[in-house]
Amino acid sequence: FMERSPSWVRTPLHADCVAAVRDAAKLLESLGHSLETKHPAAIDDPSAERTLFNIIIAQTAGLLAMVEGTIGRAIRPDEVEIWTWALCQEGRRAPMLDFLNAIEWRNVLSRSFGEFYSSGFDLLLTPTLGAPPLPLGALTPTADAPLGAWEKLTTFIPFTPIQNMTGEPAISLPLHWNASGLPIGVQLVAPWGREDLLLRVAGQLETARPWASRRPPVRA
């Protein structure tokens, strides 16, 4: 399990999230599992953040280009969110080699996970987020700084994009709740194609600590 954010994240992991993953580790141990504080080495590679950014901007630009081909005209800035338009513009300006290098590093990341599992580990346990749930609008960009939310975003979600890049199955479980009554999730990650293992362990955890009846004080 991993009880800190990747080393490229500029803000330490929130105490609630540390408590959540440690609590989940203890629960897993009580159910007969063995745990160690270890994770795939590439998660800490300083290239991870830039790689993620380059993939997102290129794919956003590509998606909008496909939409333009479907509707037969250029998309106007006022037809998409500020964040989407800013990412698209970044993607249109970025050299193609940046995207190709990002794809190659994504392969390095996937191989690092393969080495991790082949060394004897079945699953990886991390926090789901880097902090408790944020108020609505906390990550909304502004017209004068459309990419200003990027650092906030990478601090808030330092774990889940890793699985977006590797394509490995992962699941978030609201096992822990903080003093404010908010669910603090933990993420389980399994090797590629091992959804069966992921769901069995997740089911075991839900049976041991069910959450279906729990509700935060403010909800929609």
For residues 88-104, give the mean pLDDT: 95
pLDDT at 12: 93
Here the tokens at position 49 are: 């953040």
Q: 152 near 96, Cβ under 8 Å?
A: no
Name, in order, each residue with C-beta under 8 angstroms of 95's C-beta and a sequence gap of 6 or more: none
Task: Please give the torsion angle defined by the CA atoms of residues 77, 81, 83 and 84, in that order, rounded to the nearest 10 degrees.
Answer: -70
**What mean pLDDT, rounded, does the chain reach?**
94
Q: What is the DSSP string of 68-103?
A: HHHHTSPPPGGGS-HHHHHHHHHHHHS-HHHHHHHH
Residue-wise pLDDT for 146-160, tens only, equals 998 888 898 999 999
CA angle 90, 146, 74 (to 5 degrees): 55
d(CA 154, CA 146): 15
Ordered alpha helix ranges (H), the chain: 15-30, 47-71, 82-93, 96-118, 149-156, 160-166, 195-208
pLDDT > 90? residue 129 = yes
| Greatest CA separation for the chain | 59
Please report, as a single letter, which amino acid is at residue 41: A
pLDDT > 90? residue 143 = no
For residues 200-205, give the mean pLDDT: 98
Quick one: what percent of the chain has pLDDT higher than 90?
86
For residues 89-101, give the mean pLDDT: 95
**Backbone φ/ψ region at 176: left (φ over 0), alpha (ψ -120 to 50), beta:** beta
Residue found under tokens 């007969």? 32
pLDDT at 2: 96
Place 137 in a pLDDT band, splitting at 50, 70 and 90: confident
pLDDT at 218: 83
pLDDT at 148: 85
Quick one: what percent of the chain has pLDDT higher than 70?
100
d(CA 177, CA 196): 27
Residue-wise pLDDT for 56-87, tens only, equals 999 999 999 999 999 999 999 999 999 999 99
Is pTM beyond 0.75? Reply is yes
pLDDT at 35: 96
pLDDT at 63: 97
pLDDT at 199: 97
Q: Which residues pair with 95 in a beta bridge?
A: none
Torsion angles phi and psi, residue 130, rounded to 5: -90, -10
